[in-house]
Amino acid sequence: MKIGFYIKWDKHSLASSGNVIGDELVGESLCRALIKLPEVASSELYAPNYLPHDSLDVMIYLNDTKPNEKWAKKHVLYFQNGYGDKAPDLLKRFQKVGYDGYVFFSKRLLKMHQESGYNGIFLPFGVDTTLFYPRKHDKRYAFDIAYVGNDIKGQDRTMRYLYPAAQYNFALFGNWKIPKARFRFWRNWRKQPPYKKLFENICKGKIPQEMVPVLYNNTKINLNCTLQSCVDWDVITLRTYEIMACNGFLISDKVPSAQDTLQDYVVFTEGGAELTEKIDYYLSNEKERKAIAGRGYEYVMKHASIDARAKEVFEFLGGIR
């Protein structure tokens, strides 16, 4: 079987000066896992700057993209973005497009889809354990606290789940530069959010992707701040599993399904002052911190690898008629 994935953004975001596109990382990891299966002849990620030359058996779309009949015989939508309160309307629009199959990263969205008379499967994120695994000690990445991501979570969530870390030995990576036009708006019309200028000053920039696992493993406490749309649709983020796969210790905001399945492997927080209390506690209790991280590593190895997710996808594709 020849399988393709398609994103609506250009490929190679890791090498660009802009934000890393999470959809690209998800697609590439699934391609690497699928090609290991003997029944898969090819598996590749396509994008506007990298289109398929030959017809495929199946194209899986990771964004709100209409199927292109020239690309493949069958077309599948992988609904792996939250879209906030727009998701129900978008789902109805996707259903009218007439994909041959539907895959969801949210059980709530899948249920909504099934109640409308359609079939599909639930496919949570999985971690590529050939890339994310425990690494040797590296003092360059031995911070007290770290976070990798961009300024896309909104003022409220950023203030609650990231800003309290600024008082510690905090390594912030990603794109936190304030656009000049936006800065002028804040300066002239309202008070700038407290984290904005501070995070722009302390941010260490874009971390090389090959060093992300080193950071996760060497940092005492990794933070996770989830998009509100993913909280609303009850999604465990890929970052959660990647940190755990590196034997990293994680303090995360609360997502219902994560609390249900990961309560023994991740520390959850309400943010703000309560986050500060937990940071202080776990910085002072190394043995307990490492024990939780160790249990999380074992869980991911057994239940959340990308290879397991790839097999689920392949079995689903084989059943499409």
Condensed to tens digits (0 to 9), the pLDDT of residues 140-150 reads 999 999 999 99
Q: Which burial class, exposed, middle or buried, applies to 197 when counting CB atoms under 10 A from its CB (0-12, 13-18, 19+)? A: middle
Per 3-state DSSP, what percentage of the chain is helix, strand, and coil (rounded to 5)? Answer: 45, 15, 40
Topology alike, domains 2-126+305-318 and 139-303: yes
Its CATH class, for the domain covering 139-303, is alpha beta
pLDDT tens string 161-193: 999 999 999 999 999 988 765 555 555 445 788
Query: Residue holding tokens 């904005």?
Result: 196
Cα–Cα distance measured from residue 108 to residue 114, given in angstroms and rounded to the nearest whole number: 10
- Nearest Cα to 27, choosing from 9, 53, 54? 9
> Where do the structural domains in the chain lie, given as residue ranges?
2-126+305-318, 139-303
**CATH top-level class of 2-126+305-318:** alpha beta
- The string of pLDDT tens digits covering residues 33-88 is 999 999 999 999 999 999 999 999 999 999 989 999 999 999 999 999 878 889 99
Q: How far apart are CA 131 and CA 306, in angstroms?
A: 11
Residues of 163-196 as b/e, b for ≥16 C-beta within 10 angstroms?
A: bbbeebebbbbbbbeeeeeeeeeeeeeeeebebb
